[in-house]
Structure 1
Amino acid sequence: MTRTLHNCPAPAKLNLFLHVTGRREDGYHLLQTVFQLIDRCDTLDFELREDGLIKRGNAVPGVAESDDLTVRAAALLQSATRPSADGKPLGANIRINKCLPMGGGLGGGSSDAATTLIALNYLWQAGLSNLELMKLGVQLGADVPFFLLGENAFAEGIGEALHVLALPKRWFVVIEPGVSVPTAAIFRSADLTRDTKPVRITDFSNAPNGFGKNDLQAVAAKLFPPIAEAIKWLGKFGDARMTGSGACVFCSFESEREADRVLEQMPPQWKAWKAEALMQHPLAHLLNRNQELV
């Protein structure tokens, strides 16, 4: 049995557009979006424990161990799997090497949770299928099933109704405006429009570059002026927009050279970086194996 997995990537996502089309009676918002995986990642290390304990091996500023989505994901998977041969549940030590900012709209916490489910499903030899992992993942957050899908997707519902989507190779420049945006505050805002007309996948596929908008952007930019400043500056080079509920702002380019030219002009007050579009999750080979084990 494999005992360790090191440097497991948890990639970021960008919302190429994000429309709020309604609101359910339970308060959840109905969305349409396209999720794009990029090669900017957190990385996680996993070590098998045979005493059933799940421990986080390092501190994550502002996140208690009991609240950490990786710890919660591991516990959820543990509850859904068979115990080891001696009747004891397997455990794990988890170390998180953060690169993605919290409150940035990049899906870092959800991606960390998904990578935990993928890695421990393999490490514990649990044998859950992709679909079974996704059913667990949605209990942790609406974005988690996307990262478990392993491919770029058009999403509907609260973000859990996913349709695989082929996207072109692109490069992105991403600005971290230096603020952390609480998602709940954006969705609670009275200024948020919730009636954007639904679109079809083909509407996006026929004109993917610059399609739609992010309905959350105006609210976040009003509450957090650095977001508006970043959008205005990056907008000089293309269709700059916010991802998710913020705070990160991005613009796409056809080549790495174009992205580099923008980065060379970046004002010093912002942390900024380039990322390449991914066609599939870096751990897709483990997802495929999960499916074969069913």
Structure 2
Amino acid sequence: MRRLLDVPAPAKLNLFLHITGRRDDGYHLLQSVFMLIDWCDLLHFERRDDGGIDREDIGPGLASGALPAEDLSVLAAKALRDATGCTQGVRIGLEKRLPAEAGMGGGSSDAATTLLALNRLWGLGLTRRELATIGLRLGADVPFFLGGRNAWVEGAGEQITPLHLAPARFVVVKPPTGASTQRIFGSPELKRDTKTATIQGFAANDAGNKTDAMGRGFQASGALDIQEILAFGHNDLQPVAEAICPEVGHCIQWLKSQGLQSRMTGSGTAVFAHLAQAKNLTPAPGGWTVRECANMDAHPLLDWCTD
């Protein structure tokens, strides 16, 4: 095998994102539900026998926003080679469809797809757990994408519990302005003390207060209802992001004018709303990206390696 073409790297939405504290090393502690959606970057991989690793933008999509040598897909390839002693190389073609600084995990997903693809292309045979150990050094979201399932995520992003979510559709809106993760998390205005919840309460239909038992109305034996999760949570990063990028608030107000309640996803400037039924949206302001998406039950490359 010398080539792998049109390999998907799906985005994620955070149905909520609570910051519950901060570690001594500066990493923030979070709790969130990460959900895969069917909006994907596409990557092409061609094996090189000379050991070189490079990347180019291809197709009609967006530019990646990073210098090729600093792109997470390139860093992932180098990290995988360093961890295994592999001497092969790769040429990576990236068709960027996900907007940058959106909070949708685009770069981390590209890195995860690169690890999965090169594990196959280079014949390394690493397990998902071994790839996740490498991936965590690249970014806190990378292990989630390698895990391949929608999940309850906590700690610094490394504690992942798979969840089964009910099928649903969403509209995602991204203004042209972005906001860096570092700037948002570094703000002194960021709320960092949301009360910690439990996964047991989240999934087991506890009868307690929603601030300490997230599972109110959920059934552990079936798919978790999207609207119930949205009713529970919020995004602690949203007020900071709105101060940095007022267009986040403009997107939320535009969706409200369409009869939709929305919130920001992750640590970027994209917002989303759950579509309980089909909607005909009025035209958005110029420069905004508006896309209707569905959630995914599993990553398209879930079976590309063993656990």
- For normalisation by structure 2, the TM-score amounts to 0.87
* Number of the residue aligned with 2:89: 91
* Number of the residue aligned with 1:119: 117
One-letter code aligned to 1:162: I
For residue 16 of structure 1, give the secondary structure of its aligned residue in structure 2: strand
* Number of the residue aligned with 1:240: 262
For residue 113 of structure 2, give the secondary structure of its aligned residue in structure 1: helix
One-letter code aligned to 1:15: N
In structure 2, what is the Cα distance between the partners aligned to 1:139 and 1:61? 21
1:202-213 paired onto structure 2 within 5 Å: 202=202, 203-205=213-215, 206=218, 207-213=228-234
Q: Is it true that 1:77 corresponds to 2:80 in the alignment? A: yes
Deviates more, 1:96-105 or 1:60-69: 60-69
In structure 1, what is the Cα distance between the partners aligned to 2:124 and 2:43? 19
One-letter code aligned to 1:274: E
After TM superposition, give the deviation of residue 29 of structure 1 in Å: 0.6
Structure 1 residues not aligned, in runs of 5+: 84-88
* Number of the residue aligned with 2:248: 227
For residue 115 of structure 2, give the secondary structure of its aligned residue in structure 1: helix
Superposed CA RMSD = 1.5
Cα distance change on mapping 1:12 and 1:186 into 2, 3 Å: same
Kindly report structure 1 stretches of 4+ aligned residues shifted beyond 6 Å. Answer: none
Structure 2 residues not aligned, in runs of 5+: 203-212, 219-227
One-letter code aligned to 1:244: G
* Number of the residue aligned with 1:4: 3
* Number of the residue aligned with 1:160: 158
One-letter code aligned to 1:78: R
One-letter code aligned to 2:261: D
Cα distance change on mapping 1:204 and 1:252 into 2, 3 Å: farther
After TM superposition, give the deviation of residue 17 of structure 1 in Å: 0.1
For residue 190 of structure 1, give the secondary structure of its aligned residue in structure 2: coil
For residue 33 of structure 2, give the secondary structure of its aligned residue in structure 1: strand
* Number of the residue aligned with 2:102: 104
For residue 146 of structure 1, give the secondary structure of its aligned residue in structure 2: helix
* Number of the residue aligned with 1:86: none
In structure 2, what is the Cα distance between the partners aligned to 1:150 and 1:119? 14
- For normalisation by structure 1, the TM-score amounts to 0.91
Size of the aligned set, in residue pairs, is 278
In structure 2, what is the Cα distance between the partners aligned to 1:100 and 1:128? 28
Deviates more, 1:58-67 or 1:44-53: 58-67
Deviates more, 1:167-176 or 1:228-237: 228-237
In structure 1, what is the Cα distance between the partners aligned to 2:135 and 2:264? 25
After TM superposition, give the deviation of residue 61 of structure 1 in Å: 5.2
In structure 2, what is the Cα distance between the partners aligned to 1:268 and 1:186? 25
For residue 146 of structure 2, give the secondary structure of its aligned residue in structure 1: helix
Q: Is it true that 1:215 corresponds to 2:214 in the alignment? A: no
* Number of the residue aligned with 1:16: 15
After TM superposition, give the deviation of residue 275 of structure 1 in Å: 0.4
Deviates more, 1:236-245 or 1:111-120: 236-245
After TM superposition, give the deviation of residue 13 of structure 1 in Å: 0.2
Deviates more, 1:237-246 or 1:276-285: 237-246
* Number of the residue aligned with 1:274: 292
After TM superposition, give the deviation of residue 82 of structure 1 in Å: 4.7
After TM superposition, give the deviation of residue 233 of structure 1 in Å: 1.9
In structure 1, what is the Cα distance between the partners aligned to 2:285 and 2:56? 34
Cα distance change on mapping 1:58 and 1:36 into 2, 3 Å: same
Q: Percent identity among equivalent residues? A: 47
In structure 1, what is the Cα distance between the partners aligned to 2:113 and 2:273? 26
After TM superposition, give the deviation of residue 178 of structure 1 in Å: 1.3
